[in-house]
Amino acid sequence: MKRYYFFIAIALIFLADSAILYYVDYLIFHDLHHIFMYMLGDLAFLPLEVLLVVVIIERLLSRREKESKLQKLNMVVGAFFSEAGNHLLATLLRESDNRGEIAQRLNVTKEWTHKDFRSASRFAYRLRLDVDARSVDLDNLKAFLSGKRGFLLSLLGNPNLLEHDRFTNLLWAVTHLDEELEARPSFADLPKSDLAHLASDIRRCYNHLVSEWLDYVEHLKLNYPYLFSLVLRTHPFQEHQSPIVS
């Protein structure tokens, strides 16, 4: 409420200044016709000024600022996949019973177009990773996520993430999986209900991973072909992976 009072006070001060200046003009020149003529001219120009300053210029600046934030966000996304995301994509895919179908639908190539990425995104949205928690090396997964905990928490504190809810949801899904694994001192003799719960957390995490990975890779294809080239040689959805250019 105090903030509104402040703006009202500023508006009243400006109006008072304007009235005083017009009054001084009248005292000096004694010409009301001149005063009202220029006042009307200024009022007539006001809508055009609002159009130029508020609508056009402000939108251009806002768009540039948004593009700058998106650029910084994609750098954060790239750091996440380099540090943790790519490893999780490959590790969890190997433990999936439907990895053949997933690899076939997500095997990004240099010929992919925007239409191909959208088709893959629709598949990722409906994806259900067919994984049994008993077949996953939960101890290694727990150790890996534990080692990345500080990195993940630092990403969650990045203010640029406020512009990207989906990536924030991905980080929460990965962090939650880490917390679930950390809460269990041992994975031996877990009941089926608990294994099913862990499998559900793994599926949620993987769905977010795949969706964000596709968006990030398409961004690289459009803006950074040299980084896209490395992704094409190393991503886990192809039959043979190698960073070596052949």
Whether 243 is covered by a domain: the verdict is: no
Token code pair at residue 215: 């968006």
80 lies in the same domain as 172: yes
φ, ψ of residue 159 in degrees (nearest 5)? -65, -25
189 lies in the same domain as 94: yes
Tell me what pLDDT residue 104 has.
Answer: 92
Nearest 5°: CA angle at 180, between 176 and 182?
Answer: 110
81 lies in the same domain as 201: yes
199 lies in the same domain as 120: yes
Tell me: pLDDT of 108 over 90: yes
Mean pLDDT of 39-61: 67
Interatomic CA distance for residues 7 and 128, integer angstroms: 53
Mean pLDDT of 207-219: 94
Confidence of residue 8 (pLDDT cuts 50, 70, 90): confident
Give the 3-state secondary structure percentages of the chain, helix then strand then coil, rounded to 5.
Answer: 80, 0, 20
Residue 20 belongs to domain spanning: 2-60
Give the DSSP H/E element, type plus range, for residue 77.
helix 58-80
44 lies in the same domain as 81: no
Tell me: pLDDT of 1 over 60: no
Q: Tell me the longest C-alpha to C-alpha distance in the chain.
A: 98
Question: For residue 74, which of 242, 240, 222 has the smallest C-alpha distance?
Answer: 222
Tell me: pLDDT of 170 over 60: yes
Q: Lowest-confidence range among 18-32, 110-124, 136-150, 198-212?
A: 18-32
Tell me: pLDDT of 222 over 80: yes
How far is C-alpha 234 from the chain's CA centre? 23
Residue 33 DSSP SS3: helix
The last residue of one of the domains, among 12, 30, 60, is 60
40 lies in the same domain as 131: no
The number of CA neighbours under 13 Å toward the Cβ of 135 is 13
Asked if 214 contacts 91 with a C-beta cutoff of 8 angstroms, the reply is: no
Interatomic CA distance for residues 246 and 243, integer angstroms: 9
Top-confidence residue, 7 or 145: 145
Tell me: pLDDT of 51 over 90: no
Whether 245 is covered by a domain: the verdict is: no
Whether 244 is covered by a domain: the verdict is: no
Tell me what pLDDT residue 246 has.
Answer: 76
Confidence of residue 41 (pLDDT cuts 50, 70, 90): low
46 lies in the same domain as 81: no
Top-confidence residue, 55 or 172: 172
Whether 113 is covered by a domain: the verdict is: yes
Interatomic CA distance for residues 45 and 60, integer angstroms: 21
204 lies in the same domain as 147: yes
The whole model's pTM is what?
0.73
Question: For residue 95, which of 180, 232, 199 has the smallest C-alpha distance?
Answer: 199
